[in-house]
Amino acid sequence: MKLRIRLYVAAGSLLLTVSLLGLFLVRSVEHSEFQQIDQQLTSALPVVGAISKPSTTPLVKPPTDNHLPTGGNRISAFYVAVVHDHSRRVLLRPFSNNGSAPRIPTHTTVSGHAAQIVTVGSTSGNTRWRAILISFPRQSGRLLVAASLAQVDATANKLRLGVIFAGTGVLGVLIAAGLWVGRLGLRPIAEVTAVADAIAAGDRSRRMSSTGGRTESAHLARAFNVMLDEQQALEHRLRQFVADASHELRNPVSVILGIAELWRQGQLQSGAAGDDAMRRIGQSGQQMGELVEDLLLLARLDEGATPHRSRVDLTLLVQNAIQDAWATDPSRQIKCTGDTEAVISGDPTALRQVIGNLVTNSLRHTPPNSQISVDVRCGPDICVLTVHDQGPGMSAADASKAFNRFWRADASRTRSGTGLGLSIVSGIVASHRGSVVLDTSPDSGTTVVVKLPVP
């Protein structure tokens, strides 16, 4: 069942409940008034019987003073008549009678038995009466005693009018609430459904339009748009990632296929040419292997793999990374400053790769005579690793993309590397619940600050 239909059913049920409660209220008031009038009739019967035949024996025994009706139950409020066949002799009329008289009831109550009080109409007009017709032994006439229901009907009519007004007010509130809920609540949900159907049909550009306001539906519309934008951006990054990975793998694959084709044509028969071909195949295979390992590492980091943790001395890892750098390029000036010991909890292999990637980037993108400094300092809660070089640095636009995968600045695209180094650094640091910040400019060089929590 649709939500709109459910709201209509709920509104109808509420209106029906109000109507039934109003009807029950009117019926309850009428029943209470009837009981009160019947009690007045019953208590007035002895007095009425006493005055019905004052010259002879009364029809009923008159009551004592303690049983006389008082207050609102005065005798003058009743209609009293002696009925002979179809004729009647009126003894009393109510003060506010307006000339109407009750019809004779079809049921007769025998004196001494339980009174049968019934509701009858008027001989003229619309006034209703509560009446009792009593027959007495050895008496030819019957006694008709009735009380007008004009006041009861007037009260009931006022209550009915009030219930109608209340029901109309409730209906108006329900209509206004339905319009308000439909405009603020159901319409955005219907739009979400329409947009979702359009996207499922292939229109990825559709977005929610009703995103203003502070309602839940507006928040849903904004969240839906953000979800679609992020999904589209994720698909774009995935396509770009596949394209970049294919581009990086194309060169070594082309080298291997080219050498294999030369060998098939018999052009690599000499020893020197064969050795050079095998060397190039080895380099291409190593390049492909490193790229695949980096991609697998990034995939594990994206999955949120928990690193293996143990006690790690960052200062020792930095010194080892500097020794490795000197082994490949002894002429570079690299210095280590800071604490002599900086122990944290982490994956030593992953943290070694972080430091190695940062030092390698500085060596790769700075002039041979440029100095590189690595500083390690630990506080009570955090350890800070800073790698600074005096190279050309990057612009603000390039720095904002430095941690993107396969991204390299235009000036460095001809150099070696796959553009995954800083992406791996960011992923490993994030898996250790740390942070990495890049501060660079063409005038001041590049500084990378890595913050790792101390256990």
d(CA 175, CA 141): 62
CB 88 within 8 A of CB 82: yes
In which residue are the tokens 């849903």 written?
Answer: 220
| Residue-level pLDDT at 413 | 41
CA-based nearest residue to 53, from 136, 173, 159, 158: 136
Residue that terminates a domain, selected from 272, 302, 332: 302
d(CA 417, CA 327): 19
d(CA 229, CA 223): 10
pLDDT at 261 over 70: yes
* In a domain? residue 182: no
Write out the residue range of the structural domain in which residue 271 sits: 216-302
CB 421 within 8 A of CB 291: no
Token pair belonging to 42: 């019953």
pLDDT digits (tens, 9 = 90+) for 135-145: 877 777 888 88
CB 403 within 8 A of CB 426: yes
Residue that terminates a domain, selected from 109, 124, 155: 155
d(CA 117, CA 36): 12
* In a domain? residue 19: yes
Tell me the pLDDT band of 174, cut-offs 50, 70 and 90.
confident
pLDDT digits (tens, 9 = 90+) for 262-292: 888 877 766 777 788 888 888 888 878 877 7
Residue that terminates a domain, selected from 137, 155, 173: 155
Pick the residue with more confidence: 188 or 314? 314
320 and 286 fall within a common domain: no
* In a domain? residue 178: no
State mean pLDDT over 185-194. 72
Token pair belonging to 215: 């309602």
Going by the DSSP 8-state scheme, the letter that residue 186 receives in this structure is I
CA of residue 329 relative to chain centroid, distance: 60
